[in-house]
Amino acid sequence: MLIAMLAVLVGFGLLIWSADRFVDGAAATAYHAGMPSLLIGMVIVGFGTSAPEMVVSAMAALDGSPELALGNALGSNIVNTGLILGVTALIMPIRVHSKIVRRELPLLILISLGAGLMLWDNAVLRWEAALLLIGFFALIGWSVFSAIRDRGDALATDFDQEIREHTMPLAKAIIWLAVGLIVLVASSRLLVWGAVTIAESLGVSDLIIGLTIVALGTSLPELASSVIAVRKGEHDIAIGNIVGSNMFNILAVVGIAGLIEPLTNLSQQVLTRDWGTMMLLMVMLLFMAYGFRGQGRINRLEGFGLLLVFITYNSYLAFSVLTGSA
């Protein structure tokens, strides 16, 4: 098991490094191609920050561990909203200026509800996974339309400043794009092998490993980028990345995994415990950040509330594992 733990640690390190290189290379390549900054931020960067979850889940499904893929998707959304936004808001309250982000929040709720309906019968069948992927491509199309229509949005200003700070020569961008993608795939396979081996050694389900260790590891890039964005005053990037990543995780991560290997005979706890916790956090985020009576914001007290839900959920998972009820 020691080798498996080392594989997970090395896999996480390479995964975070390669995802960062992949996003930087893709964003710079698109910028050189003349793509608007808002479009780069919403589509290229949004897709790139969810790349670890997508590739890890695809590898897990190919290796016959679709529950790990599902756990990764639901767990990553719980980490993104509870831990990352919670910690970020504790460091500095997050203000939401962008109309695009405020439009995406109700859409995130609808997508999350749709995922819950699919999980109602404790399965995600191949045709349901195909529907999720169709929704993913529709979301990409909507993002492109929004980026073209709302070029004066506050989010566009933040992305333009961020992309100009990280520009690089085209040749270097293409190299980082290719290297990042290759290492991303290789590190994901290493991570999945290590995680499944640990689960088997401890007698813990792939779902629990996906909800905890794998979800936390694949979400680390969002934690770093959100904290940095808020400290630089780019609040809309911080929350926009999380909202976009959460939608991508449900539509693309679960969709890809379910298309490769349908998820059947799932535990009822996936709906009541895991999806329920994710949905609670999504609703809390909507009421905090939407700004029904003015500008939306997540203050320190609300950030603590999000973090408390995350801690309570993971404490319950740990208790379930220790008592053998997971």
* Domain extents in the chain: 51-154+188-323
Tell me the CA distances in angstroms from 214 to 11, 155, 226, one per residue in order.
10, 30, 19
pLDDT averaged over every residue in the chain: 84
Calculate mean pLDDT across residues 16-35: 77
Query: What percentage of the chain carries pLDDT values higher than 70?
Result: 87
Q: What is the pLDDT of residue 154?
A: 61
Q: Which of 27-41, 135-149, 187-201, 296-310 has the lowest mean pLDDT?
A: 27-41
Per residue in 105-161, pLDDT (tens digit) is: 899 999 999 999 999 999 999 999 999 999 999 988 887 777 677 666 666 666 666
Residues in the chain: 326
- Give yes or no for residue 93 having a pLDDT over 70: yes
Q: What residues does 263 pair with on adjacent strands?
A: 124
Q: What is the pLDDT of residues 194-249, one digit of tens each?
A: 888 888 788 888 889 889 888 888 887 777 777 777 777 777 777 877 888 899 99
Q: What is the pLDDT of residue 81?
A: 94
Alpha-helical segments (H) within the chain: 2-32, 37-39, 46-49, 51-62, 66-78, 85-91, 99-118, 126-149, 154-165, 170-202, 206-209, 215-231, 235-248, 254-260, 269, 276-289, 300-323
CATH of 51-154+188-323, picked from 3.40.50.720, 1.10.1060.10, 3.10.20.30, 1.20.1420.30, is: 1.20.1420.30
- pLDDT tens digit sequence for 62-71: 888 888 889 9
Q: How far is 52 from 41, CA to CA, in rounded Å?
A: 17
What's the average model confidence in pLDDT over 95-113? Answer: 84
